[in-house]
Amino acid sequence: MSAHAIIQDELAHANIAYRLLEDIGESKEQLVYGRQPHEFKHPYGFDQPLDNWADLVVANGFFDRAGITLLSDVYQNTSYGPLKRALVKVDMEETFHLRHGEVWMRRLAKAGGEAKEIVQCSVDWMFPMTIEWFGLPDDLKRHSGQLDYKLKGLSNDELRQVWMSSTVPLCEELGLNVPAHYDSTTDEYVLDYPFPCEYDVADKRWVFEDGETTWDAVFKRWKSRGPMNEIYVESIQRSRRDVGGWLAGKSQA
């Protein structure tokens, strides 16, 4: 029931975003139902399969925290009033999603044994994937439009630090291993693996042993989308076709 409630919230958040785009002349119908799966521009993490309950709740604990990190920054700094007002509702609901993830991560981790091992497996692939979520390091950032036009206030690296400042202590509290640590000399969190690096999609595993890859390789992976991209988009677009066919048949009858 809690998972269904979260899905319902996320659909409402999407509707809010598409509604804002409609106000500036975009077509919601085209954006949702007219695009090919590879044309959608959501984070790469959303195209990954969630194979068990641990994957779902760690996604709440990691991905939703990333969403809160990004959107809280937007809310505090954006100069675009319609977006700022819309984020009041979104923030409250994302906080529920995050709390759901943290509660279940604690339950599973404290249960120990196989339950904790499954959570650790989810953390292993989701932590680096969420680190990627925030984009290029600041020294490689090619465009500053979001900052220049005050759509957000913090840089990519600053947002990464905000996310890690909550996520790393949570995992340490639960006895879960993450490839990052706090450096007291620099007063920042440091990654303990090559960044960026390759991701083995089939095994849901980061290939740390191959060392650092290029951001061009990361962009290529992102543009190719993840393994669930076509399945997820098709499920939404198919439902629209099914309802359209049913309505057409009913009108003829």
In a domain, 211, yes or no: no
Contact 180, 170 (CB under 8 A): no
Could you tell me the two tokens for 210?
Answer: 């191959």
Domain extent at residue 239: 2-195+225-252
pLDDT of 253 > 90? The answer is no
Specify the 3-state DSSP secondary structure of 199.
Answer: strand
pLDDT band at 191 (very low <50, low <70, confident <90, very high): very high
In a domain, 208, yes or no: no
Total number of domains in the chain: 1
Q: What is the DSSP letter of 186?
A: T
pLDDT in tens, 203-242: 999 999 999 999 999 999 999 999 999 999 999 899 888 8
Query: 148: exposed, middle or buried (C-beta count within 10 Å: 0-12, 13-18, 19+)?
Result: exposed
In a domain, 241, yes or no: yes
In a domain, 218, yes or no: no
In a domain, 215, yes or no: no
| Number of neighbours of residue 239 by Cβ within 10 angstroms | 11
At residue 142, the pLDDT reads 72
Please report, for residues 175, 209, 224, the alpha-carbon distance to residue 248 in angstroms, rounded to integers and kept in the order given. Answer: 56, 56, 36
| Domain at 65, CATH number | 1.20.1260.10
Residues 6+ apart with CB under 8 A from 253: none
| d(C-alpha 158, C-alpha 137), whole Å | 10
Dihedral of alpha carbons 158, 161, 162, 163, sign: positive
In a domain, 175, yes or no: yes
Model's pTM, two decimal places? 0.90
In a domain, 177, yes or no: yes
pLDDT in tens, 50-90: 999 999 999 999 999 999 999 999 999 988 899 999 999 89
In a domain, 213, yes or no: no
